[in-house]
């Protein structure tokens, strides 16, 4: 016989006390010997059962009450970058959030990578096409996007795992095309559009979506019609209530230092009263560095969450340098403060501990549940195979001798590492870049689409701050590919995209007068420029050989509205690739 009793230690104590009562009652029946034997057997089996379960279960978080999440990058979700942040802060995130607009299908590969890494995906699905004035709530309501929504929902269903879905967040602001402000100042349109999207998911059977309704902490504009509750679609359409808010410090001409309590507590209390059955999430939050004590702000925030906001069951720290530096590592003091507060077991790092709140989400077998550093060698890095030159290359802007080569293509939103919101599509910024080599030169050619080309007035070490191509290369094949800082054989070179050219090497603190280059404005039916150059290997004290494999990266900078860089696309890695060679891809020399 096998007994499986779900008893706590306290229950076992009660069992021992009650044993005396049971024994007394059974004395009259003269069966004391048998009853004691039976009770001892039950107690033994229960202890063995509990111990076996404890040994076989995944690591649990009995004290976890609030799921810890983070936003680090847009698509493709960079697990390596997230892991690096987690190692630096000392805690694994249970949730990884990212954004996408309505240009692509459900991000299956990103979500699967997140789940296998040991977290639950949080998709912020923004109903717009970035850079195009083509999508408002009426377009959703009249059915123009039904086939797209249906396809997206079908792919979400096929993903199978539960995932957070945040559609049309911050609708009570005035900055998004799904806001009430930009739709006839009519919150009812948002409610109808939200329900319409939800109903399509239900028809498809995509019940694994966990729906977050997420207003901003304050209304813009501050008008009665725009109050956040006017946008609520109803309990049956919402799984979680979200809330976004930031301390902007004095980074803007309209902002001032604001405590976490002032941003969130009053609205949290109102949400608890209005929607008592719903778990609450802070969908985005962060603090500027300027204007006050960020380290203390972080400490106060996490203390308040734990002590006064029990219905807050998830938080997402917005950890990028965007409008200002929201990152916890914006200063050593704020980083240390974050490390101190996030180690509290109250903030959970295993999504399985919150399974009841997230549609019985369960990590797959083999998913990462313990914090450990991922090596770059464990991550697939892109590789460029570079061919040896046959004949002479004349640097004249005529790229006919390059036509047989396969280019490095930069034209995907997932390659944007800064200025995501500023990118207007491939006509705004994209490129086909070609590379060849011989024992004397690295040859480079580029066809760049740019709707406002050749904007770079900077020089020397500031030459990066305008239109240009940045190249990073490590010329020692034996260097550690995991290195996160430059060694003596790593170089970064910026090539200015302007008539007359220009370049700069930060490691050598000079411009290369030996580079032969030509920049010309495109004239073949598109706005942009053509670039061609010969870069001497001698500047790097290096001679390549067939079969060599070097760390390499290349990026494209763009300045449109101002004379400063607004957008960057990168071949491999993300925004700080220029200081971290472990993010670079590979350059393979072949004949």
Instruction: Tell me which residue range forms the domain holding 161.
Output: 66-357
- pLDDT recorded at residue 32: 38
365 within some domain = no
Which residues, including other chains, have CB under 8 Å from residue 55's CB and lie 6 or more apart? Answer: none
Only one residue has tokens 């080309």, namely: 453
Contact 395, 518 (CB under 8 A): yes
Tokens of 224: 């009665």
Work out how many domains the chain is built from and give that number: 3
To the nearest whole percent, how much of the chain has pLDDT over 90? 75
Is the same domain home to 417 and 481?
yes
393 within some domain = yes
Question: Looking at residues 209-218, what average pLDDT do you find?
Answer: 98
The string over 497-512, giving b where at least 16 C-beta atoms fall within 10 Å of a residue's C-beta and e elsewhere, is: bbeebbbbbbeeeebb
Which residues, including other chains, have CB under 8 Å from residue 566's CB and lie 6 or more apart? Answer: 419, 422, 558, 559, 560
Cα torsion for 61, 67, 69, 75, to the nearest 10°? 100
Is the same domain home to 186 and 229?
yes
Is the same domain home to 38 and 100?
no
- Sign (positive or negative) of CA dihedral 142, 148, 152, 155: positive
Is the same domain home to 504 and 476?
yes
Q: In terms of pLDDT, which residue wins out, 524 or 534?
A: 534
62 confidence band (pLDDT: 50, 70, 90): low
Residue 389: CB atoms within 10 Å: 16
H helix intervals, 161-285: 187-204, 260-274
55 confidence band (pLDDT: 50, 70, 90): very low
3-class state of residue 244 by DSSP: strand
What is the CA 163 to chain-centroid distance, rounded?
Answer: 15
Asked if the model's pLDDT at residue 208 lies above 90, the reply is: yes
Say which CATH number the domain at 485 has. 2.60.40.1190
370 within some domain = no
Give tens-digit pLDDT for 287-307: 999 999 999 999 999 999 999
Is the same domain home to 227 and 281?
yes
71 within some domain = yes
Cα–Cα distance between 431 and 556 in angstroms, integer?
Answer: 8
Closest CA to 194 of 216, 174, 214: 214
Cα–Cα distance between 345 and 258 in angstroms, integer?
Answer: 27
3-class state of residue 584 by DSSP: coil
Out of 349-358, 373-382, 395-404, which region has the weakest mean confidence (pLDDT)? 373-382
218 within some domain = yes
Is the same domain home to 448 and 526?
yes
1 within some domain = no
Only one residue has tokens 């725009």, namely: 226
250 within some domain = yes
196 confidence band (pLDDT: 50, 70, 90): very high
Residue 536: CB atoms within 10 Å: 14
Residue after which a domain boundary falls, among 303, 324, 357: 357
Tokens of 53: 């379960």
- pLDDT recorded at residue 61: 57
- pLDDT recorded at residue 26: 35
Is the same domain home to 408 and 530?
yes
H helix intervals, 118-227: 137-141, 146-159, 187-204
Is the same domain home to 543 and 412?
yes
The neighbouring-strand residues paired with 246 are: 286
Is the same domain home to 340 and 463?
no
- pLDDT recorded at residue 11: 38
- pLDDT recorded at residue 261: 98
Residue 275: CB atoms within 10 Å: 18
63 confidence band (pLDDT: 50, 70, 90): confident
Is the same domain home to 244 and 302?
yes
Closest CA to 326 of 292, 294, 283: 294
Question: Looking at residues 264-274, what average pLDDT do you find?
Answer: 98
Surface-to-core class of residue 541, CB atoms within 10 Å of its CB (0-12 exposed, 13-18 middle, 19+ buried): exposed
535 within some domain = yes
Say which CATH number the domain at 352 has. 3.20.20.80
Out of 26-40, 72-86, 240-254, 267-281, which region has the weakest mean confidence (pLDDT)? 26-40
Is the same domain home to 457 and 525?
yes
337 confidence band (pLDDT: 50, 70, 90): very high
Contact 231, 187 (CB under 8 A): yes
Is the same domain home to 19 and 91?
no
H or E element that contains 298:
helix 294-308
């Amino acid at each position: 016989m096998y007994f499986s009793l779900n008893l706590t230690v306290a229950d076992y104590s009660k069992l021992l006390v009650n044993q005396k009562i049971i024994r007394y009652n059974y004395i009259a029946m003269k069966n004391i010997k048998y009853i004691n034997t039976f009770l001892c057997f039950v107690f033994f089996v229960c202890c063995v059962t509990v111990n076996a379960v404890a040994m076989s279960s995944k690591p649990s978080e009995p004290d976890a009450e609030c799921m810890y999440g983070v936003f680090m990058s847009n698509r493709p979700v960079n697990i390596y970058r997230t892991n690096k942040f987690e190692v630096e802060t000392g805690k694994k995130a249970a949730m990884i959030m990212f954004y996408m607009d309505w240009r692509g299908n459900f991000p299956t590969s990103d979500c699967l990578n997140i789940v296998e890494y040991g977290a639950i995906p949080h998709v912020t699905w923004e109903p717009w096409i970035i850079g195009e004035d083509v999508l408002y709530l009426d377009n959703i309501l009249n059915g123009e996007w039904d086939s797209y929504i249906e396809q997206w929902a079908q792919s979400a269903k096929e993903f199978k795992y539960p995932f957070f879905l945040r559609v049309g967040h911050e609708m009570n602001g005035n900055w998004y095309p799904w806001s009430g402000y930009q739709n006839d100042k009519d919150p009812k349109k948002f409610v109808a559009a939200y329900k319409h999207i939800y109903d399509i998911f239900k028809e498809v059977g995509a019940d694994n979506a966990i729906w977050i309704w997420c207003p901003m902490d304050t209304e813009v504009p501050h008008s009665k019609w725009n109050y956040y509750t006017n946008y609520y679609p109803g309990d049956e359409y919402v799984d979680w209530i979200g809330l976004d808010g930031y301390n902007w410090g004095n980074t803007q001409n309209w902002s001032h230092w604001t405590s976490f309590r002032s941003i969130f507590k009053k609205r949290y209390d109102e949400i608890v009263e209005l929607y008592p059955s719903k778990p609450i999430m802070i969908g985005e939050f962060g603090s500027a560095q300027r204007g006050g004590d960020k380290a203390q702000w972080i400490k106060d925030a996490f203390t308040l969450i734990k002590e006064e906001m029990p219905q807050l069951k998830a938080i997402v720290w917005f950890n990028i340098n965007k409008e200002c530096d929201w990152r916890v590592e914006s200063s050593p003091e704020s980083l240390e403060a974050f490390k101190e507060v996030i180690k509290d077991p109250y903030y959970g790092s295993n999504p399985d501990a919150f399974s009841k709140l997230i549609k019985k989400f369960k990590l797959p077998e083999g998913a990462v549940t313990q914090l450990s550093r991922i090596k770059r060698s464990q991550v697939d890095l892109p590789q460029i195979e570079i061919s040896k030159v046959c004949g002479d290359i004349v640097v004249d802007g005529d790229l006919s001798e390059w036509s047989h080569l396969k280019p490095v293509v930069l034209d995907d939103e997932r390659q944007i590492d800064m200025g995501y919101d500023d990118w207007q599509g491939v006509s705004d910024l994209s490129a086909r870049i070609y590379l060849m080599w011989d024992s004397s030169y690295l040859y480079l050619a580029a066809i760049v689409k740019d709707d406002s080309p050749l904007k770079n007035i900077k020089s020397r070490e500031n030459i990066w701050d305008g239109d240009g191509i940045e190249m990073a290369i490590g010329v020692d094949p034996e260097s550690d590919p995991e290195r996160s800082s430059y060694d003596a054989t790593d170089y970064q070179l910026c090539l200015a995209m302007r008539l007359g050219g220009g370049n700069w090497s930060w490691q050598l603190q000079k411009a290369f007068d030996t580079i032969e280059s030509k920049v010309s404005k495109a004239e073949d039916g598109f706005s942009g420029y053509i670039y061609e150059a010969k870069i001497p290997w001698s500047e790097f004290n290096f001679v390549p050989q067939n079969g060599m494999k070097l760390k390499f990266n290349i990026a494209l900078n763009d300045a449109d509205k101002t004379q400063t860089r607004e957008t960057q696309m990168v071949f491999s890695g993300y925004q700080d690739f220029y200081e971290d060679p472990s993010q670079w891809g590979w350059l393979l020399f072949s004949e």
